[in-house]
């Protein structure tokens, strides 16, 4: 049994460096979600899926899904789970909720992503050590392979192979941070120029500070429903049309197939496109929320997701083709570079952005013109896992 599944709405906390606990953020995110979908309350939720990466490290708490149910007053009657897939944990939670509803196991689900990452500046070494856990800690993490130097390798290789320029990296960061200045919950609220990116401190050559996403506290939530239930509460939903995942290399950098691209992203996106009936992504996708944890990531993703030919991602952004009024609006909310990256909440925020774009409820100066098809993309770990989902304004 398969059924159409809709995202009917959702809510957000403010993202950034928050004076709030993990529990605080979970409650705030849950309340914002129910406030945004007034016809749905805790008593309607049959399934709960919580995306979160390291509450054990940052908040010393495990078994968090039942805790969220308790905090939000939900008596889960059918299904409850916490998902952990590093930076794709939120999309993993969304995917499992979709599959459960499509299979007829439940009709209404809450998907909540929560991450508390800031412990105070004096704890920065501990925070960075925790982040290195997403790599193979025994071999990669202990050798100092944190995220900035890892993605710097990709930038260096892409520049060497294809002539990608430092200025093109700056175009990505400036575009996304300027979009975030129009997004109320975003961590970073200043419009910047490409020159500002180059003027920011160099972190791992060729990456500068503004090429890197932030360490972020925050939560975001979604309500998913079967088609029958969704039509009772809204006529402007986002319908899940396809989903793909690929992990072709394990987690160690020694097994990665490339340092200038992600064939895993190409495979995952093709699976999602096949399910959704997408033949020409550039022509058919109107808005895309992609995983720009670093500016080079977005450039490579243009290529692997089918928006640009291999090696032409830098030119794609330089020509303005990924701007809100371009060929495909990429990261109109500001992406990870502008909004921040509370790991477990990111994929859920991306889905909420596309839903709101369909509903026409985002700020007018970042509203895409009449979008009907959207894409979500996350990478996780050493870039070894890629997750892609296609959303439509109308059910198939």
For residue range 222-243, list pLDDT tens digits in order: 999 999 999 999 999 999 999 9
Return phi, psi of residue 119, to 5°: -115, 10
Q: Per-residue DSSP letters for 153-188?
A: HHHHHHHHHH---HHHHHHHHHHHHHHHTT-TT-S-
186-205: burial string, b at 16+ Cβ within 10 Å, e else: bbbeeebebebbbebeebbe
Tell me how far apart the alpha carbons of residues 392 and 395 are, in angstroms, rounded to a whole number.
Answer: 7
The ranges assigned to domains in the chain are: 5-120+215-233
pLDDT of residue 382: 86
Q: Kindly report the CA angle at 324 between 319 and 330, in degrees rounded to 5?
A: 80
Model confidence pLDDT, tens digit, residues 301-337: 999 999 999 999 999 999 999 999 999 999 999 999 9
Inter-residue contact 360 to 239 (CB < 8 Å): no
Closest CA to 288 of 250, 297, 248, 233: 297
Question: Can you say whether the dihedral through the CA atoms of 28, 371, 350, 211 is positive or negative?
Answer: negative
Question: 149: part of which helix (H) or strand (E)?
Answer: helix 147-162
Which residue, 143, 171, 138, 107, is CA-closest to 302?
171
CATH topology of domain 5-120+215-233: Peroxisomal Thiolase; Chain A, domain 1 (3.40.47)
Q: Which residue has the tokens 């919580």?
A: 50
Q: What is d(CA 188, CA 182) in angstroms, rounded to the nearest whole number? A: 10
The residues assigned a catalytic role are: 87, 341
Rounded Cα distance, 169 and 42, in Å: 44
Pseudo-torsion of CA 181, 345, 16, 340, nearest 10°?
Answer: -50
Which pLDDT does position 1 carry in this prediction?
Answer: 56
Largest CA distance in the chain: 56
Question: Is-contact 334 189, C-beta < 8 A?
Answer: no
Q: Quick check: 147 and 253 in contact, CB under 8 A?
A: no
pTM assigned to the model: 0.97
Instruction: Please list the pLDDT of the chain residue by residue as tens digits (396 residues).
Output: 589 999 999 999 999 999 999 999 999 999 999 999 999 999 999 999 999 999 998 899 999 999 999 999 999 999 999 999 999 999 999 999 999 999 999 999 999 999 999 987 777 777 777 777 777 777 777 776 788 999 999 999 999 999 999 999 999 999 999 999 999 999 999 999 999 999 999 999 999 999 999 999 999 999 999 999 999 999 999 999 999 999 977 777 878 888 999 999 999 999 999 999 999 999 999 999 999 999 999 999 999 999 999 999 999 999 999 999 999 999 999 999 999 999 999 999 999 999 999 999 999 999 999 999 999 999 998 888 999 999 999 998
């Amino acid at each position: 049994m398969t059924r159409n599944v809709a995202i009917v709405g959702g809510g957000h906390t403010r993202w950034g460096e928050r004076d709030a606990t993990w529990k605080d953020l979970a409650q705030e995110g849950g309340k914002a979600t129910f406030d945004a979908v007034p016809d749905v309350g805790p008593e309607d939720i049959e399934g709960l899926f919580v995306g979160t990466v390291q509450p054990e490290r940052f908040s010393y708490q495990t078994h968090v899904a039942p805790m969220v149910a308790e905090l939000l007053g939900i008596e889960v009657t059918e299904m409850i789970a916490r998902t952990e897939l590093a930076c794709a944990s939120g999309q993993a939670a969304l995917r499992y909720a979709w599959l459960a509803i499509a299979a007829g196991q439940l009709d209404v689900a809450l998907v909540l992503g929560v991450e508390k990452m800031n412990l105070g500046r004096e704890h920065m070494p501990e925070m960075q050590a925790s982040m290195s856990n997403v790599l193979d800690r025994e071999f990669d993490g202990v050798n100092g392979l944190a995220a900035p130097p890892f993605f710097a390798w990709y930038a260096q290789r892409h520049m060497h192979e294809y002539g990608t320029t430092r200025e093109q990296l700056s175009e990505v960061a400036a575009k996304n941070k300027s979009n975030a200045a129009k997004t109320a919950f975003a961590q970073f609220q200043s419009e910047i120029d490409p020159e500002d990116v180059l003027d920011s401190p160099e972190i791992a050559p060729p990456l500068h500070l503004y090429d890197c996403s932030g360490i972020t506290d925050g939560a975001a939530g979604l309500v998913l429903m079967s088609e029958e239930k969704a039509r009772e509460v809204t006529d402007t939903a986002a319908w899940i049309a396809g989903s793909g995942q690929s992990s072709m290399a394990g987690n160690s950098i020694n097994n990665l197939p490339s340092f200038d691209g992600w064939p895993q992203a190409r495979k995952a996106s093709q699976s999602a496109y096949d399910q959704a009936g997408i033949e020409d992504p550039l022509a058919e996708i109107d808005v895309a929320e992609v995983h720009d944890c670093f500016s080079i990531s977005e450039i490579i993703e243009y290529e692997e997701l089918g928006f640009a030919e291999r090696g032409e991602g830098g030119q794609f952004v330089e020509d303005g083709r990924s701007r809100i009024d371009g060929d495909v609006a990429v990261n109109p909310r500001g992406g990870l570079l502008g909004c921040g990256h509370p790991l477990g909440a990111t994929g859920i925020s991306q889905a909420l952005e596309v839903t709101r774009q369909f509903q026409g409820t985002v700020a007018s100066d970042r509203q895409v013109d009449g979008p009907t098809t959207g894409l979500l993309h996350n990478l996780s770990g050493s870039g070894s896992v890629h997750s892609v989902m296609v959303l439509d304004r109308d059910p198939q």
